[in-house]
Amino acid sequence: MCNDLDKVFTVGHDAKVRATVEHPELRIDADRLLRRLRELGEVGGIDGGGCARLALTDADRAGRDLVTMWMRDVGLQVSVDGIGNVVGTRPGREPGPPVMCGSHIDTVATGGIYDGNLGVLAGLEVIETLAESDVLTRRPLAVAFFTDEEGARFAPDMLGSLVYAGGMGVEVAHDIIGIDGARLGDDLERIGYLGSTPCPGQAPYAYVELHIEQGPVLEDHGDTIGAVTGVQGISWQELTISGQANHAGTTPMSYRHDAAYAAARVAVAVRDLAMAIGGHQVGTVGKVDLYPNLVNVVAARATVTVDLRNTDEAVLRRAEEALAGAVEELAGAEGVEISRRTLARFEPVSFDERIVDLVEATGRAFGHSVRRLPAGAGHDAQMLARMCPSGMIFVPSARGISHNPAEHTEPGQLAAGADVLLQVLVTLAEADSIPVVRSHPAPAGTGADPGAAITGAPPGAVVAGARRAGSHPGATGGSEVGGGSGSAEVTTSARDPR
Ligand SMILES: [Zn+2]
């Protein structure tokens, strides 16, 4: 692996912009990281090597207990807040808000062992590596895991980080009822994670989250590191369709008010509108419940969830309007009533350009092929972006598979992401201010190639990939979010509190 970290901050046209890399020699222990990932993966383990640790279940408690024990083992001071977010802090040479990393350790019912867990356990690796090397950073460091990121049991998703960032009151969150009828606040208390640290939490100095991509883009392009430019906006709705139960044999087709048929039409409408809008628009009907759900009865009622996402808020609204129009038309045609409830609604988020650039430059300094791209899934980092400069690092997901026991990332890629996280965190913890590592690039067509400039042309085939990604940042999947322009201006929308 190329080690060219001393050149990280001399990128772009303004060589005066230079920060000191204090400890370029530091590397995390890849075997230890993998061991912890596997050990945590066994908590709530399911067939096929995955895990099921739905938020605030007994399995989640067991996972929390294990990670909290590890936090203490590596010397972190652990605090738990009123929504069960756990933050482990390592003091710095100077007081002040910490540079924070983290993610989540709850999973969906058919989860893999990397989603969320990687960001938390890589954070522990960073802390342990620094401790072993007797390195005390200028600013404190913190590793967090946020409650109920998946939203699989209690909607909305990213709930813990939303409350941490002040986007929802803690009492409101406690009253959320889960899919199994449980009240969130009661289960928080039951598993022993109703903490006393107030919400909203302290705004970190900066937040960086390492996560698996959960999509195919990095693997398809042979890239090792993703510099995440932002997160798609998410719209979750639940439609309740009320028709009329009737005999499947005796009711002529023209007499029916069939909730099951209407549910199917909703699914078709969602697919059609996503295809018609095109671009980054995606649409999913992932859950359908029928009542009475019997072979010989026309369904009286159906509940259908719709998940719409886009990197562009205006287009996402257009998708929502298209859905509303289709639903209204369908209700009239089939003679059913359709009511709608919003389960979650988050606008797209752009990450802090300085941190996106820092991630990109650090990845290249290691000799990795780096791609700028938006996140397709929601992440805690988008909530933290409301309160501090934030960013994310992606590593590839084999075949793009996630929320599946088959979820996989190669050990070398896990280590690569964790090492980039380490260097980014140390840089943010030491520098006087968040460094600007990329000035405005030369105009298109001049042949300027920031990728080649940063890598210092290390030996080996990685350079070709680095050049390709670096020379066309706007040509990746991510041009809509974060601009991909290489501009060093800070995106203020990412820090807008609402
Ligand atoms: Zn996740």
Position of tokens 């980014």? 424
The pTM of the full predicted model, rounded to 2 decimals, is 0.77
DSSP single-letter state for residue 163: H
- Determine how β-strand 99-103 pairs with β-strand 141-145: parallel
- Determine how β-strand 206-212 pairs with β-strand 99-103: parallel
Q: How far is the CA of 155 from the centre of ligand 1 (A)?
A: 15
Q: Output the average pLDDT for the chain.
A: 86
Nearest residue to 485 via CA among 472, 494, 468: 472
Tell me, rounded to whole angstroms, the distance of Cα 9 from its chain centroid: 27
Q: How far is the CA of 276 from the centre of ligand 1 (A)?
A: 29
The segment with the largest mean pLDDT, out of 12-21, 267-276, 370-379, is 267-276
> pLDDT, tens digit, for every residue of 115-131?
999 999 999 999 999 99
Q: How far is the CA of 105 from the centre of ligand 1 (A)?
A: 8
Q: How far is the CA of 420 from the centre of ligand 1 (A)?
A: 19
The dotted CATH code for 5-231+349-495 is 3.40.630.10
- Where do the structural domains in the chain lie, given as residue ranges? 5-231+349-495, 233-346
Question: What pLDDT sits at residue 280?
Answer: 85
Q: How far is the CA of 116 from the centre of ligand 1 (A)?
A: 4
- Please provide the DSSP assignment of 327-391 as one string: HHHHHHHHT-EEEEEEEEEE--EE--HHHHHHHHHHHHHTT--EEEEEESS--HHHHHTTTS-EE
- Determine how β-strand 370-375 pairs with β-strand 225-231: parallel
Tell me, rounded to whole angstroms, the distance of Cα 168 from its chain centroid: 19
4 pLDDT tier (thresholds 50, 70, 90): low
Question: What pLDDT sits at residue 6?
Answer: 52
Asked if 224 and 396 touch (Cβ cutoff 8 Å), the reply is yes
> pLDDT, tens digit, for every residue of 408-417?
999 999 999 9
Question: What pLDDT sits at residue 252?
Answer: 97
Query: What token pair was written down for 248?
Result: 């499947």
Distance CA(297)–CA(326), nearest Å, equals: 26
Q: How far is the CA of 208 from the centre of ligand 1 (A)?
A: 14
Q: How far is the CA of 408 from the centre of ligand 1 (A)?
A: 13
Architecture of domain 233-346: 2-Layer Sandwich (3.30)
